[in-house]
Structure 1
Amino acid sequence: MQARHNLLWHLLLDLPILLLVAAVCILLEVGALPSRRHGFTCNDPALSFPHVGDTFSISLVAAITVIVPFLIIWAVEAMLRQNDEYNMKKSKLYLTAKIAAVIYRDYIYGAVVNLTILEVVKCVVGSPRPTFFDLCEPDKALTCNDSEFVSSYTCKSTKYSRYLQIDSSRSFPSAHASLSVYCGLFLAWYLQRRAFSWHNRSVLLIPLVQTLCLIYAAVCSLSRLTDHRHHWWDVLVGGIMGLLSVFYTVLVLCKNFSQPAVVSTSDISSSDGNNHQSVRRLLSSEPHVVVP
């Protein structure tokens, strides 16, 4: 009865709020809702780079942010139950999927908060990108004098879509940097707390995966500079926002991954009777079980 009551609250309150936030973000992103355009300085060389595309497309970053964390979390939680003799294989996968879903829910919540703040700040600031002149081709750029600041203009580009013309004034902060830092640091932190142990058969596997997560965060962020899609301060602030989001998600929502620490087979075989019994209780989903 309590579960049905909670589900009803989720459907009647939480789901509409989530859909409303998602709708606002989408409408802001596509330009359906008005947003501020900061303007530009005539002949500004910092805004005169050609548009060459994205090394990491937004669809790729979104796929990595949404899909990869759940797969890694599920794999780790399943690994933690590899010695569980009280559950069948099918039950173990189901139970570990439920545990992973709880952690993943908090991760997605933090990501949504991060992305919502990013989208609002982008539209409020309205900072032009380094490729602004190429993407927008503002009408006032041909007639303004050197160093003159233009606050009102119309994009006349025929080479690029309307979306890219609108996006040309949304440089600050970098969403790529924020999301990649958030995703990479969250996974590295999670792996350190839940998967790393000096008693594992391989002590280098988890650090290798953590390194790949951090490399992804760094390379994705720096590619925004090499692609001339952002100014350096856009990437810096975006990375800081991602870092703050990680601290909020891990420490406040996930309680610093306070589940039991990783236990390897070597720990079990080398422990005394009391520790052996405690480990079995952690690995089992049943109530208190005494193992001789």
Structure 2
Amino acid sequence: MQARHSFWWHLLVDLPILLLVAAICILLEVGALPSRRSGFTCNDPALSFPHVGDTFSISLVAAITIIVPFVVMWVVEAIHHRNDEYNMKQNKLLVSAKITGLIYRNYIYGAIVNLTILEVVKCVIGSPRPTFFDLCQPDKARTCNGSEFISSFTCTSTKYSRYLIIDSTRSFPSAHASLSIYCGLFLAWYLQRRAFSWHNRSVLVVPLVQTLCLTYAAVCALTRLTDHRHHWWDVLVGGSMGTLAVLYTVLVLCKNFSQPTVVSTSDISSSDGNNHQSVRRLLSSEPHVVVP
């Protein structure tokens, strides 16, 4: 009964909220909702770089952020898996997938909170990118002189898509840096807490994977500078937001990866009084609990 009530709460409350937040983020990203443009200074060299594209496209960063953590955590939890009286008859991959799903749910929640704040700040600040003049080709830039500040202008570029023209004034903060650092730090922290309890583990496998995660986070953030897609302060603030999101997700939502144990909450809630006693004894018995 408790599981059924939880299902309806997820379906009727959580899902609509998630869809609403996702819709708002998408509408802000594509320019369907109005956003602020902060203006520019004439002949500003910091805004005069040519647009050369992205080393890491936003679709690639999104795919890595969504897919890779689940795969890595599923592998780790499958190796952690130990049979007990509640899951010995279930498929090992299925049980580990359920445990992974509990952690992954918190991870996605933190990512959505982080992304929502990023989108709102981008639209409120409206800071021009280093490639602003090339992407937008503002009409006032042709006639202004010296260091005159232009607050009202119209983009006249026909060389780039409407999305890139709108995106030319959304430099602060860097979403690429924030999401990549969030993903990389989360996985490195997770592996430190969960994967290092493997029995007979390799000495180098886990540190190597952690290094790859941190390298991805650093390289993805730094390419925003080398591609001239962001100013250094955009990357710094975006990375800081990603780091704060990791701290919130790991310490508050995931309880520093001390949960979940190998016993699923659905098994506990569906058992009778005698089974509740068994579960309590099981949880208090250290050999049956996966301790990071």
**Whole-Å separation in 1 of the counterparts to 2:11 and 2:224:** 39
Aligned alpha-carbon RMSD (Å): 2.0
Q: Whole-Å Cα distance in 1 between the matches of residues 252 and 289 of structure 2?
A: 24
Matches within 5 A, 1:3-82: 3-81=3-81
2:175 paired with 1:175? yes
Q: Structure 2: which 5+ residue stretches go unaligned?
A: 262-283
Letter in 1 for 2:96: T
1:282 equivalenced with 2:286 (yes/no): no
Residue type of the alignment partner of 2:243: L
Aligned residues: 268
**Whole-Å separation in 2 of the counterparts to 1:198 and 1:17:** 38
In structure 1, distance between residues paired with 2:216 and 2:193: 20
Matched residue, 1:265:
none
CA deviations 1:128-162 (Å, max 9, x no partner) are 00000000000000000111000000000010011
Counterparts in 2 of 1:1-292, with a 5 A limit?
1-81=1-81, 84=83, 91-197=91-197, 200-259=200-259, 280-282=287-289
Q: Partners in 2 of 1:84 and 1:39 — Cα distance?
A: 62
Displacement of 1:88 in angstroms is 6.0
Contiguous gaps of at least 5 residues in structure 1? 262-276, 284-292
SS in 2 for 1:100: helix
Letter in 2 for 1:282: V
Letter in 2 for 1:225: L
Q: CA shift at 1:165, angstroms?
A: 0.4
| One-letter amino acid matched to 2:72 | I
Instruction: Give aligned-pair identity as a percent.
Output: 80
Assess if the C-alpha contact under 8 Å between 2:185 and 2:246 holds in 1. yes
C-alpha distance 150-53 of structure 1, shift in aligned 2 (>3 A): same
CA distance in 2, matches of 1:109, 1:75: 21
When normalised by structure 2's length, the TM-score is 0.87
CA–CA separation in structure 1 for the residues paired with 2:10 and 2:194: 29
Closer, same or farther: CA 4–42 of 1 in aligned 2, 3 Å: same
Q: Paired residue for 1:272?
A: none
**1:260, 1:282 within 8 Å by CA — same for their partners in 2?**
no
How far residue 199 of structure 1 moved from its aligned partner, in angstroms, is 5.9
Contact 2:102–2:260 (Cα < 8 Å) also in 1: no
- Asked if the contact 1:197–1:203 (Cα under 8 Å) also holds between the matched residues in 2, the reply is no
**Conserved? CA contact 1:196–1:203, under 8 Å:** no
Structure 1 runs of 4+ off > 6 angstroms? Answer: none
Change (3 A) 1:202 1:40: same
Please tell me whether the aligned partners of residues 129 and 169 of structure 2 are also in contact (alpha carbons under 8 angstroms): yes
SS in 1 for 2:255: coil
